[in-house]
Amino acid sequence: MKLILLGAPGAGKGTQAEILSDRLGIPTISTGNILRAAVKNGTPTGLKAKAFMDAGQLVPDEVIIGIISERLQEDDCKGGYILDGVPRTIAQAEALEKAGIAFDAVVSIEISDETIMERMGGRRVCESCGASYHVVAVPPKQEGVCDRCGGKLVQRKDDAPETVKSRLDVYHQETEPLKAFYDKRGLLKTAENQGAVEATTAAILKVLGA
């Protein structure tokens, strides 16, 4: 199964991608996680990406296309994968199409901007493995510590309210047109974020017929 998760920042893509990844036995590829690791390790890609990320802007398409083409060639992608946070522009979607990748479905997780603004302050991510948490909705077993790897949970710099606002604007301008792009290809399915994580997973599995 090759799946794309679309949705605004904070719609729950990362959390749902991890759950679906376990259920379906396929890896999640998150360009956000790959970029955050690159920034942390000070790689040339990380150095290029950092200013865009801190400002809530998109990293240039050619950087993303390079990252994703390399990642999808790794062995664990042979049986399928879930893309979380990519494609984010029509140019990225066209590049995936040009690479001959046929997706089974594109699920857009729907949520209002107001709800996102309310929830983002509680989001935490593991600085080691990238797993997502929320202090109220998805708390870790031990405060500040990742259930999966024991890493430290931190607040993302780009989760500051002004940056979230820019990221939402970028989403509506650059990424939301992908819904029409994939709808034309008969691939688009939409699932409402239900508030509770399990209920949202159920809504996604329902539209996937899984």
Report, as residue numbers or ranges, the catalytic residues: 13, 88, 123, 156, 167
Residue 167 binds ligand AMP (CB under 6 A) = yes
What amino acid occupies position 161? P
**With respect to ligand AMP, which residue has the nearer C-beta, 37 or 142?**
37
Q: How far apart are the first and last CA of the chain?
A: 11
Query: At its nearest, how many Å lie between ligand AMP and the CB of residue 72?
Result: 13
Task: Yes or no: say if 72 and 102 are a contact pair by the CB < 8 Å rule.
Answer: no
CB of 14 to ligand AMP, least distance (A): 7
How large is the angle between the packed helices 197-208 and 13-24, nearest 10 degrees? 60
Q: Least separation, in Å, of the C-beta of 209 and ligand AMP?
A: 26
Alpha-carbon distance values, 36 to 49, 127, 169, 188, 202 (Å): 9, 9, 21, 28, 29
Which of 202, 196, 170 has its CA nearest to residue 111?
A: 196
The answer to the question of residue 9 lying near ligand AMP (CB under 6 A) is yes
Q: Which position has the token pair 């379906």?
A: 24
- Closer CB to ligand AMP, residue 29 or residue 210? 29
Contact between 85 and ligand AMP by CB under 6 A: the answer reads yes
Residue numbers at the binding site for ligand AMP (CB under 6 A): 9, 31-32, 35, 52-53, 56-59, 64, 85-86, 88, 92, 158, 167
